[in-house]
Amino acid sequence: MSKPSVVLTGITTTGTPHLGNYVGAIRPAIEASRNQGVLPFYFLADYHALIKCQEPERVRRSTLEVAATWLALGLDSDQVVFYRQSDIPEITELTWILTCVTAKGLMNRAHAYKAAIADNEASGESDPDKGVTMGLFNYPILMAADILMFNAEKVPVGKDQVQHIEMARDIGGRFNHIYGEHFVLPEALVSEETATLCGLDGRKMSKSYDNTIPLFEPAKSLRKSIMKIKTNSLPPGEPKDPDSCTLFGIYRAFATPDETAAMRRRYAEGIAWGEMKQLLFEYLNDHLAAARERYEEMMQSPAPIERALTDGAEKARSYSIPFMKRIRESVGIRSIATGNVRSAR
């Protein structure tokens, strides 16, 4: 059999996983991990979290929630290298080495940094860099180290991250040009067919809009959240458009094609919003109940999560330790006592 291809992705640990994360990222990643031809590396990007969040308790809690979510949903840590970024010190080591070959101008062009500057300018701020940390500025280099460390070929990400993968290619290519072919250059994998859900207010469900529905909130709060979803004011009996409806969008992301077709007919017949909300709640609740129970159990006693992550870190380091040694040597950080003829390339 040919060597499995390395697929790698990171999850920033700053919030509580919501329905949109599940449908857009978690579910497809877990499905992909069952595919025989791939070696998946999935990790908790807790150092990336520090860029956006300086509340220690929130970072800790989110790391636990994200790990528990993925495991409760059936991620098999025997088939996937599942780890915390901060458990792999070679990643931060590589970050520095990559920093030294990265053009500052490349970082100036990063969307996240440019957006921060544009905000400052729009608000009449005299310092365009106000509130910009070096962490935010260097974000793409840490991300490049995440990817290049394991020679990932494919990196599944949302559209907003594509530029970062291109930067990882640039940085890896620059290193290879100077020091020899050490890094595989990664490609972004952007899935067009994964659904994006709308949130409570009808905009895209996203932490930054504060309109999310947590994936594993208890049944009672789940019901409450669904009741809060904004709809138009068409009365019962009046035909309704499913395709512009947040409720239908969420339903469709979980239901089978037959169930979805049947629901379309209910919309044409003028289903009442109250009934649709109740149906959606029941459907989601049934669908999520078993995983939610496993999630709650793990949140109560997280020792198995810690174990899974520690095992994952050990597996990841069986790649990163020898690889980092090779990278260090390639740049000239090597023993000066051995005469060194052997390691000259």
Binding site residues, ligand TRP, CB under 6 A: 8-10, 12, 45, 48, 143, 146-147, 155, 157, 161
Which residue number, 26 or 271, has a Cβ lying nearer to ligand TRP? 26
Nearest residue (beta carbon) to ligand TRP? 10
Which residue number, 59 or 155, has a Cβ lying nearer to ligand TRP? 155
Taken in order 228, 229, 235, 237, the sign of the CA dihedral is: negative
Least CB distance from residue 339 to ligand TRP, whole Å?
39
Which residue number, 161 or 330, has a Cβ lying nearer to ligand TRP? 161
Least CB distance from residue 141 to ligand TRP, whole Å?
11
Least CB distance from residue 243 to ligand TRP, whole Å?
28
The partner residues of 7 in beta bridges, in order of sequence, read 40, 154
Which residue number, 49 or 226, has a Cβ lying nearer to ligand TRP? 49
Residue with the two structure tokens 């037959």: 258
Least CB distance from residue 155 to ligand TRP, whole Å?
5
Q: Is 181 exposed, middle or buried (0-12, 13-18, 19+ CB in 10 A)?
A: exposed
The partner residues of 18 in beta bridges, in order of sequence, read 214
Q: Give one word for 145, left, alpha or beta, with left for phi > 0 and alpha for psi -120 to 50.
A: alpha
Least CB distance from residue 174 to ligand TRP, whole Å?
18
Query: Do residues 26 and 200 make contact, with C-beta atoms less than 8 angstroms apart?
Result: no
Rounded distance, CA 137 to CA 290, Å?
41
Which residue number, 41 or 273, has a Cβ lying nearer to ligand TRP? 41
3-state helix, strand, coil in the chain (%, to 5): 60, 10, 35
